[in-house]
Amino acid sequence: MHLSLDVVLLILSLLACGVIAGLLAGLLGVGGGIVIVPMLYHVFTLYGIEADIVMPLSVGTSLSTIVLTAWVSARNHHRRGGVDESLVRHWFVPVLIGVVIGTLTAHFISGSLMKTLFGVLLTLVAIHMLISSRHALTVFSSLPARGVQFILALVVGTGSSMLGIGGGTMMVPILTLFSFPIHRSVATASVFGVIISIPATVGYIYSGWGTSGLPLGSTGYVNWLAFAALVPATVLCAPLGVKLAYRLNVAQLKRAFAVFLLIVGIKMIWF
């Protein structure tokens, strides 16, 4: 099979994205769509993908990569006993309802609005990282009443599926506000990464089915070339990021990365 130069360059660009995502995941504890979606957005834009489909394609593809990475993470956390199974049981249904809402919403809103919403999310995450690097963001002494938890879980499912970020980006900061132990938050969020990403990926495949202008290797709004490049590169490079974390000043790097996210977020909102 003959591959054009554009396809080869696209694959190399996607591999580079996977390397960067893996390093950042291991080094700073960030990952999933918060890194992958903006990188895919800029790579797909660079290669001339139509503006209306760039964002849903980036989100759907990001969710497909989260299926495997979250599964591996969740299995390891479960083996170590870190997952709060009670929280998983109580949040399972509202998170799934949120996934349905988020996936349907993404189908009906424009790519430009989705880009703006993701920019807002990046900005909020960046501000949270800057503040939490200096102060513990704990406000309440325990989890709220079940009704409030239902709403929080619904928000996590909706936002995560609509913007392709898995569960941890929203869930961990929320749980931290309620004095939930950070390691238990991360472990439990990894389980919800699987719960969110599988149905949401299916939803994005369905939503994009038959859409014209999709790049080579796409099924709906999921690009399997990107999937094949991102997942191995991310998994292989994450341990290297962990090693670097013990040699570098992670606090300063995290603040620098937060500033970078803030710039990217503002750019996605305004341009």
The domain locations on the chain are: 5-270
Using pLDDT thresholds of 50, 70 and 90, give the confidence band for residue 1: very low
Mean pLDDT, rounded, for 231-236: 88
pLDDT value at 32 more than 80: no
Torsion angles phi and psi, residue 117, rounded to 5: -60, -40
Mean pLDDT, to the nearest integer, of 79-84? Answer: 90
**Strand partners of residue 219:** 222
Report the amino acid identity of residue 100: V
Instruction: Compute the distance between CA of residue 257 and CA of residue 15 in angstroms, rounded to an integer.
Output: 21
**Which DSSP category does 180 fall into?**
-
28-37, 113-122, 209-218: least confident range: 28-37
Residue range 228-237: mean pLDDT, rounded: 89
Return the higher-pLDDT residue of 239 and 188: 188
Taking the C-alpha atoms of residue 6 and residue 10, their distance in angstroms, rounded to an integer, is 6
Q: What is the pLDDT of residue 31?
A: 65
Quick one: pLDDT band at residue 3, thresholds 50, 70, 90?
A: low
Average pLDDT over residues 37-61: 93
Helices (H), 164-249: 168-177, 182-207, 224-245
Close Cβ partners of 142 (under 8 Å, ≥ 6 residues apart): 178, 179
pLDDT reported for residue 129: 85
Question: Residue length, the chain?
Answer: 271
Residue entry with tokens 């939930």: 180
What is the average pLDDT across 88-107? 95
CA distances from 261 to 30, 218, 252 (A): 11, 28, 14
Query: For 55-77, what is each residue's pLDDT tens digit?
Result: 999 999 999 999 988 888 888 88
**Residue whose C-alpha is closest to residue 57's, from 207, 264, 253:** 207
Residue type, position 47, single letter: Y
Which tokens sit at 219? Answer: 């099924």
Q: What is the pTM of this model?
A: 0.90
